[in-house]
Amino acid sequence: MPSRRELANAIRALSMDAVQKAKSGHPGAPMGMADIAEVLWNDFLQHNPSNPHWANRDRFILSNGHASMLLYSLLHLSGYDLSMEDIKQFRQLHSKTAGHPEYGYAPGIETTTGPLGMGISNAVGMALAEKILAAQFNRDGHEIVDHYTYVFLGDGCLMEGISHESCSLAGTWGLGKLIAFYDDNSISIDGNVKGWFTDNTPKRFESYGWHVIRNVDGHNSEEIRQATIEARSVNDKPSLICCKTIIGYGAPQAGSHDCHGSPLGEAGITAARAKLGWGYPPFEIPNEIYSGWNAVKKGAAAETAWEQKFAAYKAAYPELAVEFERRLQKKLPQGWKAKVAAAIQDADIKAEKIATRKASQNAIEAYASILPELLGGSADLTGSNLTNWSSSKDITKSFLEGNYIHYGVREFGMSAIINGITLHGGFIPYGGTFFMFSDYARNAVRMAALMGVQSIFVYTHDSIGLGEDGPTHQAVEQAATMRYIPRMSVWRPCDTVESLVAWKAAIERTHGPTSLVFSRQGVPHQKRTAEQIENISRGGYVLHDTADNKIDLIIISTGTEIDLAIKAAEILTDKNVKVRVVSMPSTDVFDAQDEAYRKSVLPPEVKARVAVEAAVTDYWRKYVGLEGTVLGIDTFGESGPAEDVYRHFGLTVENLVKVAENLIF
């Protein structure tokens, strides 16, 4: 049987060989953390390489994602469907082994970790999801949800501000099954971190409410094992295991930033092989090493044992078991379509003039009662975002049967935690903040889109309609920039009915995130036919049309500006201008429609077009063409009552009529 060090050296060898072949990558951290990884994966990690999606697996997150060859080596060695050829294709086009771990590229990768601090924040979400799901479904003697979330992280993760946000919450929530291994090697890209990172990390985490294990030798397997046992024994606090390591362990450049992000070079690899006693050629792993790592049989046995446990649970609690399976399979409950139809019909009959943030709350009220997996929250703006509902129950350390999370003033951390909850499974999470503060959270929002996961981001106070709070809080460029994110679906509804459809779309969209953008100010209800209501789900549709289908002008708008478009159309119609108004609450959904439908809404022969939105104008030019006009704002906002601010920027019915007349006469 190979020694622990020999097993760990397999990681070191694969990492330095793959980086060298690619002529690009980070060999230092994989070589430094190899001993920690060997102990965790061989002694503690509950996983099944033959079924990477087993529900009760432990989650392993490599937050210091530049160390990706560590994870790829672990997956390959332990028996996942990741071949040696895949290892050799490290950092190559269309390879499973990308420069940083990419969710969906290779089995066993739980989340994409490139931006530092994102992985630990996702892990907080995963650990929270495990804890809530366990509280909702476990019964005495039937613990079907019972797994850990393990994280590797380094100095960079701890320097990034997002780690402060998420780790603070992890302590507040008492996430006892979250265990993080801190790779304390004192090195970042610029060199020794003592010049720019002098935090007392153990005290910092103790102040968060974590259990901290100090001064573990990251190259002493027994110390690592004992520290892990201790961490697993603490049930009411997350644990940070501080492991002192040598970056690039075994290489001539060990202990230096020279091996952080650069290949070791042929001479360096030769010397490292000699130092480590690894006498095998590049990319060659002896059979006894593979045998020492292979987790296929052990993983299959663990899953089989869990399946037996679940069968007993199903016999004892059949309804709970069916619900558990439904939620993990992302299937909507029976009665969902009827619930949506009834809510839309009711809103259409009531025809209320309310802010769309209130319409959003009404949608949550309508849908949440049938969706126990809907897990809401806000970054300290619940009363402004209106993200709660009548049956909201706050989740706390001591009460986990709830459905609402208070994230505090942590937009970035909230968004990354939501991604982690989504990735874990069993929930449809959403979180709210002001639209302006989507910029604080942008990287986590982008990561949701990059991974294609169903996170729902609720943004209120969507424009200069915010009024007196002024330009610091008035979103101007945010709608356009959000729409430019690939795979992000953005909805900016104009009234109660469109808000219900927007929420329906977000809940049904399992292959990507949705941003729901709502107003602070009240907006009138728009009258629609049944066909028009049906067409809202297509992202853009004809809201107001001419009597004879002859069109002189098309006005395209969204959100709160739809009312301006409708009123302007009425005035222009009285002046014998044949006007069509197109409501486009979701440009990406409209763009995804077939060409015939898009042309039926925006006939190409009608060149006179005006788009109006209280935001930057360039985004809308693809819909109006060279001959059209966009009425919007290409500067920052102003402070004052909303009506005065709209008037200041020319976003009035009178000015829209004038712009239209100048275009067609």
Annotated binding site for Mg(2+): 155, 185, 187
> Which helix or strand (DSSP H or E) is residue 46 part of?
none
What is the rounded distance in angstroms from the CA atom of residue 415 to the CA atom of residue 121? Answer: 9
Tokens (6 digits) for 447 = 């990561």
665 HSE (CA, 13 A, CB side): 11
284-312 b/e (C-beta count within 10 Å ≥ 16 → b)? ebeeebeebbebeebbbebbeebeebbee
Question: In whole angstroms, what is the distance from residue 55 CA to residue 47 CA?
Answer: 10
Residue among 110, 165, 303, 411 flagged as catalytic: 411
DSSP symbols for 231-290:
HHH--SS-EEEEEE--TTTTSTTTTSGGGTSS--HHHHHHHHHHHHT--S-TT---HHHH
User: At 406, is the secondary structure helix, strand, or coil?
Assistant: strand
Write out 630-658 in H/E/C secondary structure.
Answer: EECCCCCCCCCCHHHHHHHCCCCHHHHHH
Distances (CA, A) of 439 to 163, 424, 443, 617: 17, 25, 8, 19
The tokens for 53 are 């999606």
Three-class secondary structure of residue 580 per DSSP: strand
Strands (E) located in 552-636: 553-557, 579-583, 609-612, 629-631
Rounded Cα distance, 506 and 442, in Å: 19
Decide: helix, strand or coil at residue 86: helix
Give, in order, the Cα–Cα distances in Å from 148 to each of 230, 236, 294, 307. 14, 13, 21, 18
Closest CA to 611 of 468, 523, 479: 479
- 3-state SS, residue 240: strand
**Backbone φ, ψ for residue 612 (5° rounding):** -135, 125
18 three-class SS? helix
Contacts 24+ apart (CB under 8 A), 332-337: 332/371, 332/507, 332/508, 333/370, 333/371, 335/370, 336/370, 336/371
Kindly state the helix (H) or strand (E) to which residue 175 belongs, with its residue range: none
Q: Under a CB-based contact definition with an 8 Å cutoff, are residues 112 and 119 in contact? A: no
Please identify which residue in the block is written with the tokens 């993200």. 387
Name the residue with tokens 């939105």: 613
Tokens, residue 419: 């991604």
The token duo for 278 is 């690894």
Residues of the binding site for substrate:
26, 260, 357, 384, 461, 469, 473, 520
Q: Are 59 and 22 in contact (CB under 8 A)?
A: no
Contact of 538 with 582, CB cutoff 8 Å: no
206 is catalytic: no
H-run or E-run covering 523? strand 522-523
Q: Which residues are annotated as a binding site?
A: 26, 66, 114-116, 155-156, 185, 187, 260, 357, 384, 437, 461, 469, 473, 520
How many CB atoms within 10 Å of residue 65?
Answer: 30
Contact call for residues 241 and 217 (beta carbons, < 8 A): no
Residues that are catalytic: 411
